[in-house]
Structure 1
Amino acid sequence: MLEIASLIVINLLIAFAIGTVFGYVIAKGTSYKEVQNDNQSKNKTQSKRFPNSGVNPIFKKSSNLDNKPLVISSPKPSGKDNLKKIKGITNKIENDLNTLGIYHFEQIASWSSKNCDWIESFLLEPGCAKNNQWVEQAKILKSGKETIYSQKVENGEINVG
């Protein structure tokens, strides 16, 4: 009886050793994420607002989702509109809006005041949509007409950075 118990203990120790070695080898190949403090994460957030993940960036914000504007998964087959024709939209903001699912003037033209507030808080740009009258400009551009600002952008007189 004592011999059987000792064989069981030896087999368990061997299994433990093999498991430890395999676990170490497998875990050695995986990468670990570095834990950051708040200051580091704020800097990364400002440099790259939307990390490449499977989660829609809309759901990462703490703002009220009831006020989010209409978004679409991809632009129409005719292509996306040049949102930089709207005063106040830079390359960075256009990329953020595209990542969010806003590609066309008609989407912006349909925004309410609460939608503008939501976008401003999401983009971390207070007053950008309302002060620059994005909705009014988008309504004009949606109809096929041009604004003075959009003509200057189109002609290259204004460099939107």
Structure 2
Amino acid sequence: MFEVASQIVINLLIACFIGFLAGYIVAKSRSSKIKAISNEKSENFIDDPKVRTSINPIFKKGFSVDNKPLVLSFPKSTGKDNLKKIKGINSRIEAELNNLGIYHFEQIAKWSNKNCDWIEAFLDIPGSIKNNQWLDQAKILQTGNETIYSQKVVDGEIEVD
């Protein structure tokens, strides 16, 4: 009985060794194919900045996202706010803010100084947020009140492009 058990154990060890060897050979051949495909894709796909920003705009710049403000995946059911009511935000900046996930005055009103610095660097608008007092305007606009500038935008006295 001991001889039969030892033969079974020996056969299992041999089968295990052959299985590991076969798995290693298969994995090695697949990994070389995957590396070739990934190198081909990375040269044509990931290094292209247009493709990277279309995947996620965070990849637009190569800096930390530690100070990125909180964003939403989509606007609230009431719809997005007209961010152009804030002095210093034109159509281009509003579109870029929306691409980041910033749709509402409430979001802007909650920014910290580090969030402002991050947005200014990301959108390449140095000093604009602080000089135009976006946070103060957003705090007023989130309550439903209007600022002098936003009232002029609503009345059509100022066209924001």
Q: After TM superposition, is the score higher than 0.5?
A: yes
Task: Give the alignment's Cα RMSD to 1 decimal.
Answer: 2.5
User: How high is the sequence identity, in percent, across the aligned residues?
Assistant: 67
State the shift of 1:150 in Å: 0.2
TM-score calculated relative to the size of structure 2: 0.67
How far apart in 2 are the matches of 1:70 and 1:50?
24
In structure 2, relative to structure 1, the CA distance for the partners of 1:50 and 1:157 (3 Å cut) is farther
Which aligned runs of 4 or more in structure 1 are off by greater than 4 angstroms? 49-52
Residue identity in the other structure for 1:142: Q
Gaps of 5+ in 1: 1-32, 34-40
Higher normalized helix content (fraction of residues)? 2
- SS of 1:84's equivalent in the other structure is helix
| Cα deviation 1:72-105 (Å, max 9, x = unaligned) | 1100111000000000000000000001100000
How far apart in 2 are the matches of 1:158 and 1:144?
20
Equivalent residue number for residue 63 of structure 1: 63
Equivalent residue number for residue 148 of structure 1: 148
Equivalent residue number for residue 84 of structure 2: 84
How far apart in 1 are the matches of 2:145 and 2:103?
18
How far apart in 2 are the matches of 1:91 and 1:122?
16
Equivalent residue number for residue 73 of structure 1: 73
State the shift of 1:128 in Å: 1.1
How far apart in 2 are the matches of 1:130 and 1:108?
12
Gaps of 5+ in 2: 1-43
Equivalent residue number for residue 9 of structure 2: none
CA contact (8 A) 1:63 1:121 kept: no
Equivalent pairs, count: 118
How far apart in 2 are the matches of 1:50 and 1:129?
28
CA contact (8 A) 2:71 2:101 kept: yes
State the shift of 1:50 in Å: 8.4
Larger radius of gyration: 2
CA contact (8 A) 1:63 1:118 kept: no
State the shift of 1:58 in Å: 1.5
How far apart in 2 are the matches of 1:70 and 1:59?
16
1:102-121 alignment runs, 5 A limit: 102-121=102-121
TM-score calculated relative to the size of structure 1: 0.67
| Cα deviation 1:28-63 (Å, max 9, x = unaligned) | xxxxx6xxxxxxx9xxx8xxx88763x321144222
CA contact (8 A) 2:75 2:104 kept: yes
| Cα deviation 1:98-137 (Å, max 9, x = unaligned) | 0110000000000001100000000011111111010110
Structure 1, 58-67 or 109-118: larger mean CA deviation: 58-67
